[in-house]
Structure 1
Amino acid sequence: MRIIAIDGPSGAGKSHYAATLGRPIVPTDHFATWDDPVAWWPRLVEGVIKPLLDGSCGRYRRMDWSSGTPVLGAEVVVEPTEVLVVEGVSAGRRAATPWLSQLIWVEAADELERAVARDGEASRSDLVRWKDFERGWFQVDGTRDRADLIVQH
């Protein structure tokens, strides 16, 4: 199985780009929360990546944001596939390197405003805090510098 990571800042257009690839997608938004932006990684590795690499189905419980406060929601089953796309902030983290076939970085001008337009004005303060976090994350992780392809929206 090949794994393609699509990473970049919130509001850059990662989800849109991932959808154009026509492959199964596991979004990091199914794992991350405002208070846990990246430490959920072992759930993805143990529940999805390792089983798929062994030819079995992957499984995880996605975060349900419908109430405005994220809670664990429904189970998602990921069928074995030749190519899996992991999409979202931190999808291409350095810890994923052993599994990645390709890392694609997506960026855009006015990412904060794009994210607010997507999530609503009420989310602006959370998104500003998130943007501060992700800038530091990407700088330390060096994600953009390791990308095989950079896409600008």
Structure 2
Amino acid sequence: MTPAETAALVRAAPPKLGRTRLVLVDGPSASGKTMFAALLARELAAPGADAAGPVETVHTDDLLDGWDDQFTYWPRLRRQVLTPLRHGAPGGYHPFDWQLGRFGTEWVTVWPADVVIVEGVGAARAEARPWASLSVYVHAPAALRRARSILRDGPGMQGVLRVWRHREQIHFAADATAAQADLRVDGSG
């Protein structure tokens, strides 16, 4: 399914997070989640009679507290972003600074937009799905994802990322994320 086709589904979906349509884009590392979320946001915000209106995107990598915090960011996301949005108020967060190894001082405001896209590993977890207007699972073959990771992150990061990929496999199996998603998208292209 293309970002344009997905955008049509989002536009037709009712908001479940206050007046906001929450779109969760999940899948394994280097599957194409970030690219798909960016293309979907652009499609949703494109001028025209069927434009969804303002679109905000939250990357779960900004909410992680380092490499060992792969899935425990959910309370921060819920408390700082989703709950305020549900009540029509702006949310926000201090993004993690991966170079310094701590949360930064910059505050990123997430406005109560018509559509908010949350993308990243674990975004479409069971706790988030009731608030979502649409959940998307982006998949790609493991060999392609490893090759992308080497290009994106470098060979020196592959040891850490092997552990990361192992933990995400355990999470996806326990959560049944792919089976529970509203939509599965091939991120190979």
Q: TM-score range by the shorter chain?
A: over 0.9
Structure 1 residue aligned with 2:145: 111
1:21 is displaced (CA, Å) by 1.4
Structure 2 residue aligned with 1:141: 175
Counterpart of 1:42 (choices 54, 75, 79) is 75
1:116 is displaced (CA, Å) by 2.2
Secondary structure of 1:134's aligned partner: helix
Is residue 103–residue 147 contact of structure 1 (8 Å, CA) maintained in 2? yes
Secondary structure of 2:130's aligned partner: coil
1:131 lines up with 2:150 in the alignment = no
Is residue 112–residue 128 contact of structure 1 (8 Å, CA) maintained in 2? no
Paired residue type of 2:24: A
Q: Deviations over 1:80-106 (max 9, x none)?
A: 101100000000000102211111010
Counterpart of 2:154 (choices 96, 120, 129) is 120
| Larger mean Cα displacement after TM superposition, 84-93 or 115-124 | 115-124
What is the Cα-based RMSD across aligned positions, in Å? 1.0
Q: What is the CA–CA distance in structure 2 between the aligned matches of 1:102 and 1:115, rounded to whole Å?
A: 27
| Larger mean Cα displacement after TM superposition, 82-91 or 70-79 | 70-79
Structure 2 residue aligned with 1:86: 118
Q: What is the CA–CA distance in structure 1 between the aligned matches of 2:99 and 2:111, rounded to whole Å?
A: 25
Q: What is the CA–CA distance in structure 2 between the aligned matches of 1:80 and 1:49, rounded to whole Å?
A: 9
Relative to its length, the structure with more strand (as a share) is: 1
Q: What is the CA–CA distance in structure 1 between the aligned matches of 2:115 and 2:103, rounded to whole Å?
A: 26
Secondary structure of 1:38's aligned partner: coil
Q: What is the CA–CA distance in structure 1 between the aligned matches of 2:76 and 2:177, rounded to whole Å?
A: 21
Counterpart of 1:71 (choices 102, 112, 124) is 102
Normalised TM-score (structure 1):
0.94
1:5 lines up with 2:29 in the alignment = no
Paired residue type of 1:16: M
Q: Deviations over 1:74-132 (max 9, x none)?
A: 22111110110000000000010221111101011221221221111111101111000
Structure 2 residue aligned with 1:15: 34
Aligned residues: 151
Identical counterparts, % of pairs = 39
Higher relative contact order (CA 8 A, sep 6+): 1
Structure 2 residue aligned with 1:51: 84
Q: What is the CA–CA distance in structure 2 between the aligned matches of 1:131 and 1:113, rounded to whole Å?
A: 13
Paired residue type of 1:120: G
Segments of 4+ moved more than 3 angstroms: none
